[in-house]
Structures are given as structure tokens and as C-alpha cells.
Amino acid sequence: MTRVWDVIITGAGIVGAACARECASRGLRTAVVDAAGVGGGATAAGMGHIVVMDDSPAQIALTRYSQELWRELSAELPTEAEFESRGTLWVAADEEEMLEVRRKQRVYASAGVATEILDGRALAQAEPQLRKGLAGALLVPSDAVLYPPAAAAFLMREAIRMGAVMIGSQRVVSAGREHVRLENGRELTAKHIVNACGAAATDLLPELPIRKRRGHLVITDRYPGFVRHQLVELGYLKSAHSIAGDSAAFNVQPRQTGQLLIGSSREFGAEDTTINHSLLRAMVRRAQSYLPGIGNLQAIRVWTGFRAATPDKLPLIGPWPGDASLCLATGHEGLGITTSLATGKLVAAEIMGEIPRIPAEPYWPARFLEGSDGVPAPTLYGQAAHG
Amino acid sequence: MSDAFDILVVGAGPAGIAAAVTAAECGLRVGVVDDNPAPGGQIWRSGAHLPAAAQRWKARFEAAPVTRLLGWRIVDCPEPGIARAQCNGAEIGRDSTTEIGRDLHYGQLILATGARERFLPFPGWTLPNVMGAGGLDAMARGGLPIAGKRVVVAGTGPLLLAVAAHLAAGGAKICAICEQASFGQMAPLMLQVLRQPGKLWQGVRYRFATKTSRYLTRCWPVAAEGDQRLQTVTLQRDGRQWQVECDYLACGFHLVPNTELAALLGCRLEKGFVVTDELMQTSAPGIWCVGEPTGIGGVELSLLEGQIAGLAAAGKTDAARKAGASRRGALGFVRALERACRLNPQLRDLVRHETIVCRCEDVPLGALLGRTGWRDAKLHTRCGMGPCQGRICGGALEFLFGWHADSVRPPVFPALVSSFLGPETLDLPKEAV
Amino acid sequence: MAEPNITLTVDEVVVRVAPGTTVAAAALMAGTQTRVSVSGEPRAPLCGMGICFECRVTINGALHQRSCQILCEPGMRVTTAEERSRR
């Protein structure tokens, strides 16, 4: 039976699921294909931190929009999605970083995001496990945490409730020019194809300017109350946005279970999941320098995951030049969970020819291409363009 | 205490003891790590009534020039040649040590990590005082008073008889020994045992020790009942059910090998067991594996394999081959044991929708139906995400659904976060978390 | 077993045990459970060999101690069912 689809989405991580929900809600006949089921990939491997990130106007616009969408959705999320409005504390180690805190507050304010500055004493009261002598922090109360696989499963269930179909047992071997071919030879046709494959997007489209950026996470046993907010060091952005090299930054999340997720690390060039012990050591040392007691907690598991990183830290959302049917929804690096809902909105708007709530141009994939013939420009990575 | 060894043996059960003693007697520098406070593993756990052979081997182990790290576990192997060990209870501020961990350097590694019991869920199995068969035996050896207590021993395998005999010797009243296999299914194993006088004599002694207890084949527990703890067990045999009042249910369905460390090290596994050549070398160079992780075969085979690997790792290949010659015959026992302990498919029907399958995270069967596999179940139900990392529910999920466990990640056992910092020995504050 | 000459407390109840007794055994001598499960069920040791994690108790303030592999020492303060975990 050949069904005709309006949209076929490859990839059922949280971004694909969000796109499916948006498309299905607009009455589009939507199919989602992912051999690994719903909520795998980076969705399963990462921290579920919903955070407004201020490293560029386009980033703050996208994350703020999406954070709002999550807050609106939160009442509908099932308990297993573990949504909690924990808030983020951007921790300042010294007075120099407090200047950065004040600058950050101004940037957030101009984007309409309310924040509060805590001095050293207030910070110590808010988070007693932090080391003594920190200068303070910026509190972003509207940030939240959740458990991404359950949230993705919810989004997909909603999509299916509104008529979408999930094809969970077949790998996609090619997707473009209105055709999606599956491993078993079956061909699906749709006017619109959305590539939401995350770090695997280059399997279908090798010329995408996406590189795998690996991260480590440690999860502990249950220590309820050890940490109350998501704690991130101000240096996180330096780590997340250094173009090359391995880096570790302090980033700790309390889960609803009372477990702690300890991150974060970034490295290029790692292709498998074997732990990089020296990078792990750096990450744990960093965490311990902010939370001296963390070394005494029992760790249950360490794992790695792959972020899809683009040269300018913004995702690829929008039409892929040279293929009128293809829309990208990938390259979200460490912000896939946060920006999944907004990505869904932008993708659906693109497909329906609507004007989205925020300008979509900054995320268009075309920004990396020269001319209209679709020839890829040299990427900002230089020689190592892929991988 | 040195941190560098020619040979590091992980596990001080019969296989590890034999390997360590043999290698040390070849003149090599040997270290042994075991997470129990005393050597012996499970089957030779100190307590009482150890067979003469066990006592002799243990004495040899005490006398051997090996470094013993008892109460320590290997949690990770951060680099080839380094095993990261952590001390049990490091955080509780005991007088004996403030040391929490150390990196052990080895030339060769002999894995003798033993096996654990397979647990199958049934209504009430999570009640206090429902334990494994080896579990109750271990607890009793650890000082749990059992004199005068009524015990139902159930499950499958020769372990049941051994456990019943030990408990009876300690004064417990064994209400019944319930073997799920039929007599016919066990017969080939019995024939094997008849050919081995040592085993035969052991079996006779065990049965004699439990002669006042009914030994029932084709029998298994269908439910445990009680308020806050076990009070009665419902047994089933050939469709008939009856209740037995008791204080403990010692129930285990044969053994599952502890292969996590081998898997982490990249050793090849087949059907859940570590693959070795006839000298007990695994597919990873310099790493050997002996005893139950290579095939459930009991004490004698474990001792033999330990000696083979001890000799081979020490470079005494000819002597190892000679010792290996008798191993081929002993492997028949492994196969016979496997066949005898095959689980009756009716055991799959014991578990109800609301019966807890994953005890760490309280995931009931109902949540798992419709999941496509281990990883899918883990992500969407939390099953297997707890501290035991699927060691308890994994055997059940394999039997119930045919699921195989996810990839192994460090730490192999929960380890302090500080252990990832490496060999820096930190001074722990006396006030723990 | 030898003389029960080691004194410790389990949930503030004084328990006297012989050397070589595990904290898990002491916990079950004083009460009926070691921990409470994430959904509130009472639990006690299952495997006896440090794999099931049902024997976890708090010892001298340290959470999540596998008591079946820790020997009783004089003056230990053991608390059961202190997981405080919730779904």
C-alpha cells in the first residue's frame, strides 16, 4: 500500500518528535521513521536542561521562545517526564565573573527574561553544598529540567493521537527529493522531508556542516536535596563554544529522583562510546572544585553521547537549498532538548508557508552555502569538514 | 602495600584462590582482590562446615605470599594494565583506613569473578525474608540467626541441597526443598555425579543432613505472603497448590555468570559466558578468566581452571597444558548441569502485572510489556537504571522476554565520584554525606 | 560463633554481635528491614553477596552502604530505611 504523506520526518529524538507533533497538529499527514524507536540518540544521553542561552541574539531568541513553550506545555507533561522548574544558577567564582553576571542580567533583561543576582551569602543559602567563597550567581528562575526520553515519548504520543504514524523498525537509507527509502527497500513519498537525525544527519546528507561533539555524564545514587538548582559555571560558555580542543566545565543537575547528573565535557574526533578517562577526570575535578562534597557520592554509571555541532553554534532549521522538499531540523549541539519545541514550530511554519513567531533566517542551513547552486562553502572548521 | 603485581586475581572464591596460590608458588608477585571481608567467595564462604578440601585450599591461600585486598572491589579499568579498586564502606570513617581507592598495576589479569543467583519474580518476592538460596546461606554465615527458624528452600540446582544442608546444620528447620526440574530432567546430571566419587559423597552427605525434609521435584513457589515480612509461601506441584508457614524462603534459580568486568575489558562473550582457550586465556591479551564466568561447573572445575590459568599466566605453559588435559572431561558436567537446571516455561506465568520486576526502581511487569528490548525498557521505565545495573532483573528479563542486557559502562559497581579522579587518595572528612 | 562482644546501634537499638557478623545480619536482628524501596515497600537483603543493593543502610551518617559486605565494628551507628527516595 502506498500511502501519501505530507511530511516524513527522519529521526524520532526529541526534535523529530516535536516536529511531528507540530505537523500533525496542523492536519499534515505525518510519518516519523527511526529504527531505534523514540527518544534515543542524544535525547537519551544528555541532560534534560531547559535553559535560555545568551551567547548570541539568535540563540537567546530561540532558547527563550522554546523555554516559554516548555512552560506552557508543562502542565500536560506526564509525571515520568519529571519536569521541574528548578531554575539555573550561573555561578561566579570571583568578582571578575560577577561583572559577567551583571552583563548577563542585562542581556537577559533585554530579551525579556527575568533574572536575580545572588551575592555570596545568598548563594550559599540557596546551595549549601557549594564551596565557600564563591562571589555569587545569576539565578534564572524560568529555566527547568526534565527527563528527555519521557518527554520525547509524550510528544510522539501526542503526534500519533493527532494522526501521525511512527515507523519504528526500519532504518532510513536515503531521504531527499520527495522520497524516503527504507532499509527493506520500501519507498515513502512526501512533499516535505524533515531531517531530524541529530549527530547522524550526515549519514543521509554528508555535506552537512555537522560534527559529532562527544560528551560524558556521570549519574549518582539518590541524595535528595544535595543540590536544588541546575548549577552551571560561567566558564561553561567558553567550553561549549571553543571551536576546537577538549574541554570540561562544571554543570550539575538534580534529578527528581534525588540523583545528580554531573557534566559536562566536549571533545571532537571521538567516534565510539569508550570513556575518555582523562577528560572524565578533568570534568569530575571541575565539579568537585565547586561542590567539594560531590566526591563522596556514589556514582552508578558513566556514559557518553554525541551532540550534533555546527560551526556557529546555531542549529540548522529550515530549507536545504537544492532540494525543495528537504527541511533540516538538526545541529542543536547541547541545546536540543531546550529548543526542540521551537524547532517544531519553525519547521511546521516553514512547511505551511506561515510566518514563525521568531525570525527563522538565522537558523537557515543556507547560511553555510555560497551561491544558489548549492555548492557548500568551506566550513569554519577548515580541512576537517565532516565527522 | 604494593600496588604493582605480576598477576592480579579478581575474586577469592575457589577459582581465584587456586589461581593466586598457583601463580604465587611459581614465584610471581600476586595480588588478589575480593569484595567480601574474607576469602572463599560464595561456596566456600566462612561460617561453618567447610569441606576438607576447602579448608586445605584456604590454608594454602593464607600461607601463600600474596597481597590480599579483601573488602575491595574493582570498579573500572581506566587503562590497560590498571585496575581501579575501591574499598567497601570507605565513607563510613572507620578507624582501620581512610583510604578509599587505589589503582592496581598488573602484568596479567585473572578474572575469577564467580556467579550470582538468577531470580525470577513472583507475587511477594520482594518481602523481607525472601532471599536467594545462596543469599540466605550467605546471610547465615554472616551471623543471621537461623537456629529454630523454618525455611523453605526452592528454585533449581545442586545449590539447593547444599544450602539446605548448611542451614540444617545450623539448626534451621527445612520445611521443604523444592526443585523446579523433574527427576527425569535431572537424571543425566545424577549419572554424572555418580561418576565422580567426591561429588557423589558430598551429595549423599547433603541429603543425609536434610533427610527429615521433603525433597520435591516439579515444585516451585507461586507466591510469598506476609505483612511487612514473609509469613507463608504458596507452593505448587503438578497443578496442586498448598501453603507453608515459614520464616525464610531461600529461593534461587541456578546461577548467572558475573561477566561485567570481562565485558568492560573487551573480552569476547558467547551465550553470556566468557570465551577462553584451553589455557583459560580470553580474547583480550593478558587477561584470563576462570571458574563460573566461563561456564557454570562447580568447585572442582573452578579449582582446576584456576590452577591452569595460574600456571599459564606464570609462563609455565607445559604444566598448564598438562593440567588442562583433565579439564576437557570435566566440561561434560557443565553441560549436564545446564540441562538439568533448564527452567520450566510455566515459571514465566508466575509474575503478575503488578509484580515488581526491577527492584531498584520498582518497575512492575505491566510497565515492561510492549517494550521492544532492554534498552527501550531502560529509557522508558527506568528498569535496570538502579545501582544493581540490571544484575538482579537481567536474568529474569532474559527468561521472560529473551532480552539481553545493555552494554557495560564503568563503574562496574557503584563507586565514589572521587574514584574517577584517579589514584589521588583523598582524606575523607569523618562526617560523611 | 564466638562471644557477642561487639556493640553497635541499629535505629538507636543496642545490638550485640560476635566478631565476623555483617551489618546486614545485625540490622535484621534488630528489625525487619534494611531499606525502603522507591515506592515505599520495606526491603531486606536478597542476594547476600553485594549485588542486589537491598541491604543498603546508613552507617555513621554515610548513605547507601552495602551492609552484607561490611563487618560490624564497635560503636557503629546504623540507620535503616533512610533512603528518603521518592518516585
Q: What is the pLDDT of residues B157-195, one digit of tens each?
A: 999 999 999 999 999 999 999 999 999 999 888 888 887
3-state helix, strand, coil in chain C (%, to 5): 15, 30, 55
* Three cell numbers, residue B229: 515480612
Cβ-based contacts of A153 with chain B (< 8 Å):
380
Tell whether the torsion through CA atoms of B281, B283, B285 and B291 is positive or negative: negative
Cβ-based contacts of B35 with chain C (< 8 Å):
50, 69
> Does B97 have pLDDT greater than 60?
no
pLDDT at C83: 57
What Rg do the C-alpha atoms of chain B give, in angstroms? 22
DSSP one-letter code for B424? P
pLDDT at A386: 38
- Full domain range(s) for residue C59: 6-86
> Does B11 have pLDDT greater than 90?
yes
C80 falls within a domain: yes
What DSSP element (H or E) covers A251?
strand A247-254
Query: What is the distance in angstroms between the Cα of A362 and the nearest Cα belonging to chain B?
Result: 34
CB B282 within 8 A of CB B276: yes
Cβ-based contacts of A168 with chain B (< 8 Å):
372
pLDDT at B423: 72
* Three cell numbers, residue C33: 528491614
In C, minimum Cα distance to B87 occurs at: C70
pLDDT at A242: 63
Tell whether the torsion through CA atoms of B53, B54, B60 and B63 is positive or negative: negative
C27 falls within a domain: yes
Q: What is the spatial distance between Cα A190 and Cα B63, in angstroms, rounded to a whole number?
A: 76
pLDDT at A387: 34
Whether chain A has a CB inside 8 Å of the CB on B433: the answer is yes
Q: What is the spatial distance between Cα A256 and Cα C86, in angstroms, rounded to a whole number?
A: 8
Whether chain C has a CB inside 8 Å of the CB on A223: the answer is yes
Q: What is the spatial distance between Cα C73 and Cα C5, in angstroms, rounded to a whole number?
A: 10
**A265: cis peptide before it, omega within 30°?**
no
- Among the partner-chain residues A39, A150, A298, the one whose CB lies closest to the CB of B414 is A298
> Does B432 have pLDDT greater than 90?
no
Q: Which residue stretches of chain A are H helix?
A: 14-25, 41-45, 57-73, 95-110, 120-126, 148-161, 201-204, 236-240, 277-290, 336-352
Q: What is the spatial distance between Cα B275 and Cα B272, in angstroms, rounded to a whole number?
A: 9
Q: What is the spatial distance between Cα A57 and Cα B155, in angstroms, rounded to a whole number?
A: 65
Q: Does the distance separating the beta carbons of B362 and C38 come in below 8 Å? A: yes
Whether chain C has a CB inside 8 Å of the CB on B137: the answer is yes
Cβ-based contacts of C25 with chain B (< 8 Å):
139, 142-144
Q: What is the spatial distance between Cα C60 and Cα C57, in angstroms, rounded to a whole number?
A: 10
Which residues 6+ apart lie within 8 Å of A161 measured at CB?
none
pLDDT at C87: 33
- Among the partner-chain residues C25, C41, C72, the one whose CB lies closest to the CB of B144 is C25
* Three cell numbers, residue A136: 555569587
Tell whether the torsion through CA atoms of A373, A374, A375 and A377 is positive or negative: positive
Domain holding C31: CATH number?
A: 3.10.20.440
C1 falls within a domain: no
C16 falls within a domain: yes
**3-class DSSP state for residue B333?**
helix
**How many structural domains comprise chain C?**
1
% residues pLDDT > 70 (chain B)? 96
* Three cell numbers, residue A154: 509524550
C19 falls within a domain: yes
* DSSP string for residues in B63-92: HS-EEEEETEEEEEEEETTEEEEEETTGGG
Residue B57: HSE in the Cβ half-sphere, 13 Å Cα cutoff: 30
Q: Does the distance separating the beta carbons of A257 and C38 come in below 8 Å? A: yes
For residue A284, count other CB atoms closer than 10 A to its CB: 25
Whether chain B has a CB inside 8 Å of the CB on C35: the answer is no
CB A101 within 8 A of CB A94: no
Q: Which chains touch B (3 or more CB pairs under 8 A)?
A: A, C
A243 or B304, which is more confident: B304
Q: What is the spatial distance between Cα B33 and Cα B86, in angstroms, rounded to a whole number?
A: 10
- Among the partner-chain residues B410, B417, B433, the one whose CB lies closest to the CB of A284 is B417
Lowest mean pLDDT among A103-107, B76-80, B396-400, B426-430: B426-430
Question: β-strand A179-182 against A172-176: which pairing, if any?
Answer: antiparallel
> Which residues does chain A have with pLDDT short of 70?
1-2, 238-244, 371-387
C75 falls within a domain: yes
pLDDT at B192: 82
C25 falls within a domain: yes
Q: What is the spatial distance between Cα C74 and Cα A368, in angstroms, rounded to a whole number?
A: 69
Query: What is the distance in angstroms between the Cα of B335 and the nearest Cα belonging to chain C?
Result: 25
How far CA B364 is from CA of A329, B360, B361, B395, B405, in Å, comes to: 36, 11, 9, 15, 18
In A, minimum Cα distance to C63 occurs at: A223
Whether chain A has a CB inside 8 Å of the CB on B410: the answer is yes
Residue A184: name the closest of A66, A35, A49, A316 by CA: A35
Average pLDDT of the segment spanning B59-66: 96
B6 or B422, which is more confident: B6
Residue B230: name the closest of A180, C44, A364 by CA: C44
- Among the partner-chain residues C1, C42, C68, the one whose CB lies closest to the CB of B128 is C42
Cβ-based contacts of B430 with chain A (< 8 Å):
none
Q: Does the distance separating the beta carbons of C63 and A224 come in below 8 Å? A: no
C54 falls within a domain: yes
DSSP one-letter code for B417? G
In C, minimum Cα distance to A299 occurs at: C64
CB C38 within 8 A of CB C86: yes
Q: Does the distance separating the beta carbons of B421 and A295 come in below 8 Å? A: yes
Q: Tens digit of pLDDT for each residue in C57-70?
A: 999 999 999 999 99
Cβ-based contacts of C86 with chain A (< 8 Å):
224, 257-258
Whether chain C has a CB inside 8 Å of the CB on A224: the answer is yes
- Average pLDDT over all residues of chain B: 92
Lowest mean pLDDT among B13-17, B202-206, B332-336: B202-206
How far CA A371 is from CA of A374, A375, A376, B281, in Å, comes to: 7, 7, 9, 61
Query: What is the distance in angstroms between the Cα of C86 and the nearest Cα belonging to chain A?
Result: 6
Residue A65 φ/ψ, nearest 5 degrees: -55, -45
Helices (H) and strands (E) in chain C, counts: 1, 7
Burial environment of residue B413 by CB neighbours within 10 A (0 to 12, 13 to 18, 19 or more): buried
> Does B265 have pLDDT greater than 80?
yes
Query: What is the distance in angstroms between the Cα of C25 and the nearest Cα belonging to chain A?
Result: 23
Q: Does the distance separating the beta carbons of A222 and C85 come in below 8 Å? A: yes
Give B333-339's long-range contacts (Cβ < 8 A, gap of 24+): B333/B192, B333/B196, B333/B297, B333/B298, B333/B301, B334/B295, B334/B296, B334/B297, B334/B301, B336/B188, B336/B189, B336/B191, B336/B192, B337/B157, B337/B158, B337/B189, B337/B296, B337/B297, B337/B298, B338/B296, B339/B185, B339/B188, B339/B189
Q: Does the distance separating the beta carbons of A224 and C84 come in below 8 Å? A: yes
Q: Does the distance separating the beta carbons of A79 and C38 come in below 8 Å? A: no
- Among the partner-chain residues A44, A275, A299, the one whose CB lies closest to the CB of B417 is A299
Query: What is the distance in angstroms between the Cα of B50 and the nearest Cα belonging to chain C?
Result: 14
Give B384-387's long-range contacts (Cβ < 8 A, gap of 24+): B384/B358, B384/B360, B385/A300, B385/A301, B385/B360, B385/B361, B386/A300, B386/B358, B386/B359, B386/B360, B386/B361, B386/C53, B387/A221, B387/A298, B387/A300, B387/B360, B387/B414, B387/C53, B387/C56, B387/C64
**3-class DSSP state for residue B219?**
strand
pLDDT at B430: 33
CB A320 within 8 A of CB A177: no
Query: What is the distance in angstroms between the Cα of A219 and the nearest Cα belonging to chain C?
Result: 15
Q: Does the distance separating the beta carbons of A300 and B387 come in below 8 Å? A: yes
CB B251 within 8 A of CB B343: no
- Among the partner-chain residues B414, B426, B428, the one whose CB lies closest to the CB of A299 is B414
> Which residues does chain C have with pLDDT short of 70?
1, 83-87
Range list of β-strands (E), B51-161: 66-70, 72-79, 82-87, 101-111, 115-117, 130-131, 150-156
Whether chain A has a CB inside 8 Å of the CB on B266: the answer is no
> Does B1 have pLDDT greater than 80?
no
Cβ-based contacts of C54 with chain B (< 8 Å):
359
Q: What is the spatial distance between Cα A199 and Cα A212, in angstroms, rounded to a whole number?
A: 6
* Three cell numbers, residue B372: 521492544
Q: Does the distance separating the beta carbons of B116 and C47 come in below 8 Å? A: yes
Q: What type of residue sits at position B280?
A: M
Average pLDDT of the segment spanning B88-114: 84
pLDDT at B426: 44
Cβ-based contacts of B88 with chain C (< 8 Å):
50, 66, 69-70
Q: What is the spatial distance between Cα A94 and Cα A367, in angstroms, rounded to a whole number?
A: 38
Whether chain C has a CB inside 8 Å of the CB on B36: the answer is yes
Query: What is the distance in angstroms between the Cα of B430 and the nearest Cα belonging to chain C?
Result: 9
- Which string of b and e fits B212-227 if b means at least 16 CB within 10 Å? ebebbbbbbbbbbebe
